């Protein structure tokens, strides 16, 4: 019924076949996209950027903050190396340690009170 088709050697099942005696025709190429009508691309390539080569402001700010942190770390390291301590440092350290001890003792008392069910 109808015209007979012969499958090509090694053809995949379900692939389109060509009727016997006819050669397959190549599909026509689509029309190429039209070029730019104006001089927009060359004009954009010719214009110079005012900030060419300049680092963004955020990068400069990040570098400044990083430099300040590095200087602070070096100052802290030098103070630790030469054992420089202000006069109030020992008193403040002792006061904060005692405050921590008292807070932990108060918390332990509260936990004991809760465990007793009062």
**pLDDT tens per residue, range 7-54:** 556 666 655 566 677 888 888 778 877 776 677 777 777 766 666 667
DSSP 8-state symbol, 16: -
* Count of beta carbons in the 10 Å neighbourhood of residue 74: 10
Distance from chain centroid for Cα 2: 63
Judge contact between 19 and 4, C-beta under 8 A.
yes
Six-digit token string for 111: 């936990």
Per-residue pLDDT at 16: 59
Per-residue pLDDT at 15: 57
């Amino acid at each position: 019924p109808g015209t007979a088709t012969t499958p090509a050697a090694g053809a995949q099942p379900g692939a389109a076949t060509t009727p016997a005696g006819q050669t397959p025709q190549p599909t026509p190429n689509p029309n190429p996209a039209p070029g730019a009508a104006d001089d927009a691309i060359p004009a954009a390539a010719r214009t110079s950027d005012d900030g060419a080569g300049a680092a963004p402001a955020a990068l400069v700010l990040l570098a400044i903050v990083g430099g300040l942190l590095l200087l602070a770390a070096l100052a802290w390291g030098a103070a630790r190396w030469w054992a420089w301590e202000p006069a109030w440092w020992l008193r403040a350290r002792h006061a904060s340690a005692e405050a921590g001890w008292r807070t932990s003792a108060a918390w332990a008392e509260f936990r004991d009170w809760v465990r007793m069910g009062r």
